Amino acid sequence: MLFKSARQVIIFVVGSIVVLVGIAGIVLPLIPAVVVIPAGLAILATEFIWARRLLKELKRRAQQAGNMVGIGRAATQASGGDSKPGGDRAAPG
């Protein structure tokens, strides 16, 4: 019981620090907030359901954004999947 509580406190502190560093990365040029914030949420999601739900929603929105700009699964499927280099070129001769 005590171990579980201590583990939750440690995960909360570490995850929160990583998320706060990611938030700072929004204005600081050296910290990639797009990577650090989800990493902090992933740490928090190991123990907290609210963080797991938030991370899942963040992934869903990132997928939607990727689809809007032409990257992601929908764009890959629309183009016929993975293609080999030079696969669209006509054969010489």
Residue 85: inside a domain, yes or no?
Answer: no
**Helix (H), strand (E), coil (C) string for 45-60:** HCCCHHHHHHHHHHHH
Q: What is the pTM of this model?
A: 0.68
Residue 47: inside a domain, yes or no?
Answer: yes
Question: For the segment 60-89, what is each residue's pLDDT rounded down to a tens digit?
Answer: 998 888 888 877 665 455 555 554 455 445
Residue 49: inside a domain, yes or no?
Answer: yes
Residue 37: inside a domain, yes or no?
Answer: yes
Residue 38: inside a domain, yes or no?
Answer: yes
Residue 70: inside a domain, yes or no?
Answer: no
**How many domains are contained in the chain?**
1
> 45 lies in which domain range?
16-24+32-65
Is the torsion defined by CA of 40, 45, 66, 85 positive or negative? Answer: positive
Question: For the segment 12-50, what is each residue's pLDDT rounded down to a tens digit?
Answer: 999 999 999 999 999 988 989 999 999 999 999 999 999
Using 50, 70 and 90 to split pLDDT, how confident is the model at 3?
Answer: confident
